[in-house]
Structure 1
Amino acid sequence: MAGVRRRDRHGRGLRGPLTPPQAPVSRTRAERFDDLVGDEVRRLGKRWGRELSRVEFTVEEVPEVEPWFDGPVPLGRTVPGEGGRPVRIVVFRRPVEARASGDQELGRLVRDLLVEEIADLLGLSPESVDPSYDE
């Protein structure tokens, strides 16, 4: 029996993923966005942990809007807690990504959006929730 034959008919080398699945470069855009929101929630939670202990943060792709809705697409919203459910702050990934021109602006938009939603929920100004808000 001759040597092991590999499928490399055109001399292009072995096929398969170039990076291991746990490498940051192989994460999807949605996973990176989830990480960005999670990092910002943890940062704000250090200061407002007790007040935010009954708040759930989620990411959804796009908001559900009625066909006759006329206005800008919302970037996020706060869903009141009912029937023992916690209050939920939702960030809509696709509209936020569409408004950002790069990674730095994406991070700023997520930060500002979460600060504004938390400030509205707590009845405070955004600047008192996060002093870096207007930077």
Structure 2
Amino acid sequence: MQSSHQDPGFTVRLADPATGRAAAGSVSAGTVPEGTVKGKSFRQRRRNRHGRGLRGELMLPTLPAYRTRSDIFDDLVLDSAQRLHDIWGKPLDGVRFAVEEIPPGLEKLVADRTPAPMGAYSPATAEEGPVITLYRRVVEQACGGREELQDLVHDVVVEHTAEMLGVPPESLDPVYRRRY
């Protein structure tokens, strides 16, 4: 599903949950607080109780359930962004596509009974180019099946890319909202 075609100005950035800062007073990986004994790691202890060796993977890479919903969603965003880049080319150089779990301030939106956005467009700043963000949980909740998810992801990417370029979504992609 992922394209091996690499353009120098075209990037897809997926949100990384590990980039958050450590909480105050937390211990970083590899350090042990004073007064504690460092034992075997979880990986070394796991399922080797009777000397039978470590347990293997639960799901083999050849099976469909090996890929998570998050991985599949990331591929759908990548495919949609690549399709638009193949159609439009130069105007989309430097645009970054991001995937986040939920929109910021979701609690306030729910309290106000406002529908949650499926995506967001952030214009270019001095430090970085424009960013189009899709909110995975909101988009997945709005659809029923995989085909519908693929169509909705593409429509959200097209809508926010059209907002960025200042053109109607119908002129950006000829199949916009014509698959239903």
| Aligned-pair CA distance for 1:117 | 0.5
**SS at the partner of 2:92?**
coil
Identity %: 43
Go from structure 1 to structure 2 and tell me whether the alpha carbon gap of 1:66 and 1:37 turns closer, same or farther (over 3 Å shift): closer
Matched-pair contact (CA < 8 Å) for 2:123–2:164: no
| Aligned-pair CA distance for 1:54 | 1.6
2:60 is aligned, of 20, 26, 35, to 20
Match of 2:87 in 1: 47
Go from structure 1 to structure 2 and tell me whether the alpha carbon gap of 1:84 and 1:22 turns closer, same or farther (over 3 Å shift): farther
Match of 2:115 in 1: 72
Match of 2:100 in 1: 60
Of structures 1 and 2, the one with the larger relative CO (CA 8 A, separation 6+) is: 2
**SS at the partner of 1:51?**
helix
- Matched AA of 2:173: D
| Aligned-pair CA distance for 1:57 | 0.3
Give the unaligned 5+ runs of structure 2.
1-50
Deviations 1:94-130 (A, max 9, x none): 0000001110110111011011111111111111100
Match of 1:130 in 2: 173
* 1:77-92 equivalences in 2 (<5 Å): 77-92=120-135
* 1:1-12 equivalences in 2 (<5 Å): none
RMSD: 2.2
Q: Does 1:105 align with 2:148?
A: yes
Go from structure 1 to structure 2 and tell me whether the alpha carbon gap of 1:47 and 1:94 turns closer, same or farther (over 3 Å shift): same
TM normalised by structure 1 equals 0.82
Matched-pair contact (CA < 8 Å) for 2:106–2:116: no
Give the unaligned 5+ runs of structure 1.
1-5, 8-14
